[in-house]
Structure 1
Amino acid sequence: MHRLTGLLLSLVILCGSTCAPALAEDKTIVVFAAASMKNALDDVDAGFTAKTGVKVQASYAASSTLAKQIEQGAPADIFVSADTDWMDYVVARKDINVPTRVNLLGNSIVLIAPKDSTIGNVTIGPGFDLAKLAGDGKIATGDVNAVPVGKYAKAALEKLGAWQAAAPKFAMAESVRAALTLVARGEAVLGIVYSTDAKVEPGVKIVGTFPADTHPPIIYPVAATTTAKPEANDYLSYLKSQAAKTVLEKYGFDYLIHPTS
């Protein structure tokens, strides 16, 4: 009897050291989010974890990259895209729990230069000559064929009649944050990024803002995947809260919904 009790006690102690971490691990969700979300979402995630005890493992990259990873079976619970096209892409492949989708945020695109650049403020409108402004230098943005910020940039420049002349000067980056870094390091004389990115990088300055009517609306949809853990619903609810709204607006995002809590 004593031996049986001792055995049971040993099993309890063993489970305490091995089972608890497994349970804790179950309280982690994986969020795939557009690179431009990093600073703001890191703060939102910290607030969510403090409130719920659920940890967030965030993976930031271009929305195009993340969408294709989800398509290939990457274990994401939440997808935050920087445009509706890439959310539509994963929806079409049956990887998104469609009823959970919401257009959460808006943004704007701006022209940036290194902080010590001699380029001053410019008015971006009809007749804007980006190629002339760049001179012999490079212009950085995301890949205009895939990365949302690049797609928005190309659309705006085409609308303004400035794309054809400027196109050869473009340095296509894998994400908006990579483009931001090229400008901050002085490896590109100009860049087109989101206004929220420019605000968190002290090495650059905003020299112009693209009018909203020159490109499709910049919308960040968010949704749970079809394989999401139950805690993903709590995360989506938190994104719709006043606490998340306050953080996201602090970083310059437009909050497109009314907070539900």
Structure 2
Amino acid sequence: MAITRRIWLAAALSALPLASSLPARAAEPVVVFAAASLKNALDEASALWTKDAGKAAPRISYAGSNALAKQIEAGAPADLFVSADEAWMDYADKAGAIRPDSRFNFLRNTLVLIAPADGSAASGVSLVPGLGPNLAKALAGGKLAMANTEAVPAGKYGKAALEKLGGWDAVKVQVAQAENVRAALLLVARGEAPLGIVYATDAAADPKVRVVATFPADSHPPIVYPAALIKTSANPDAGAFLAFLKSAPARTSFERQGFTVIGAPGGGL
């Protein structure tokens, strides 16, 4: 009986493929939660990563930094977070959701006033102190498209700039608040709002809008994008992808879209 059992086991094992002949299990893609304004540049950089490193294409979820930070706090399965401001990264840090030692300030951006490309509205608006009456006149009863001014970084920067320049009180009842900066951009691109406040990189990404003026850098807090690994991430490629974002090839992708890369020549600290 024992001999028969041994013969059966030997036959069964011999029918199995050798471990070395089994296909290797593909690594899970890196999951990135990123501010909506990063879409064009980060899509380009992630395509380079996929090609050059031979890795699975990262899965990137774009939204307002506030929404992403709260999803991460709630346990959303992400490996990496790139915020459009330091405040929401601080929020994720205080929630114990990121690896503080992996955090670094990544990019800078600028804030602009936009209008539909095929119109002539707002041609006389200057972003100077006391702009309220001129801005209200340029709106001509229409809406000023902005990301949510209490939560989304672009909206908070925009509100701060308008307050500093004396324009907020004149237009606040005309503000159409969107869930993120790309949604605000779309309102202007579709002609649903005669004016909008977005990042310069967003304006450059859509030929249906034009830049009317650029807000002075001192009219709002510095626009800084920090990045960090999520504490619960177990993906071995997450750290490598984060490091890749600091590389020269990735830097080119971000600079091409109009970002300033912190730490790069001329990019500051």
Within-5 A mapping of 1:148-167: 148-167=153-172
**Is this contact kept in 2: 1:240–1:258, CA < 8 A?**
no
Q: Distance in 2 between matches of 1:73 and 1:99?
A: 20
Partner of 2:150: 145
Partner of 1:256: 262
Query: SS of the counterpart of 2:17?
Result: helix
Deviations 1:1-47 (A, max 9, x none): 99756644654389977x64xx21x3311000000000100010011
Partner of 1:105: 107
Partner of 1:47: 48
**Is this contact kept in 2: 1:29–1:54, CA < 8 A?**
no
Q: Which runs of 4+ in 1 moved over 6 A?
A: 13-17
2:222 to 217, 226, 244: 217
**Is this contact kept in 1: 2:102–2:228, CA < 8 A?**
yes
Residue 107 of structure 1, CA deviation:
0.1
Identity of aligned residues (%): 51
Q: Judging changes above 3 Å, is the alpha-carbon distance between structure 1 residues 78 and 9 closer, same or farther for their aligned structure 2 residues? A: farther
The answer for unaligned runs of 5 or more in structure 2 is 1-5
Partner of 1:126: 129
| Structure 1, 125-134 or 99-108: larger mean CA deviation | 125-134
Residue 202 of structure 1, CA deviation:
1.1
Query: Match for 1:178: what amino acid?
Result: A
Q: Does 1:206 align with 2:211?
A: yes
**Is this contact kept in 1: 2:144–2:175, CA < 8 A?**
yes
Q: Distance in 2 between matches of 1:33 and 1:5?
A: 53
2:185 to 160, 170, 180: 180
| Structure 1, 192-201 or 123-132: larger mean CA deviation | 123-132
Query: Match for 1:234: what amino acid?
Result: A
Query: SS of the counterpart of 1:227?
Result: coil
**Is this contact kept in 2: 1:27–1:54, CA < 8 A?**
no
Query: Match for 1:159: what amino acid?
Result: K
Within-5 A mapping of 1:222-261: 222-228=227-233, 229-258=235-264
Q: Distance in 1 between matches of 2:227 and 2:174?
A: 33
Q: Distance in 2 between matches of 1:128 and 1:114?
A: 20
Partner of 1:37: 38
Q: Judging changes above 3 Å, is the alpha-carbon distance between structure 1 residues 52 and 140 closer, same or farther for their aligned structure 2 residues? A: same
Residue 258 of structure 1, CA deviation:
3.7
The answer for unaligned runs of 5 or more in structure 1 is none
Q: Distance in 2 between matches of 1:121 and 1:47?
A: 42
Within-5 A mapping of 1:31-110: 31-55=32-56, 56-110=58-112
| Greater Rg over alpha carbons, structure | 2
Partner of 2:3: none
Q: Distance in 1 between matches of 2:213 and 2:65?
A: 25
Q: Distance in 2 between matches of 1:104 and 1:145?
A: 23
Q: Distance in 2 between matches of 1:82 and 1:124?
A: 23
Q: Distance in 1 between matches of 2:65 and 2:193?
A: 23
Number of equivalent positions: 255
Partner of 2:119: 117
**Is this contact kept in 2: 1:240–1:257, CA < 8 A?**
no
Query: Match for 1:38: what amino acid?
Result: K
Deviations 1:47-104 (A, max 9, x none): 1111222220000000001000000000110000000000000000000100110100
Q: Distance in 1 between matches of 2:151 and 2:236?
A: 31
TM-score relative to the length of structure 2:
0.89
**Which protein has the bigger helix share?**
1
RMSD (CA atoms)? 2.0
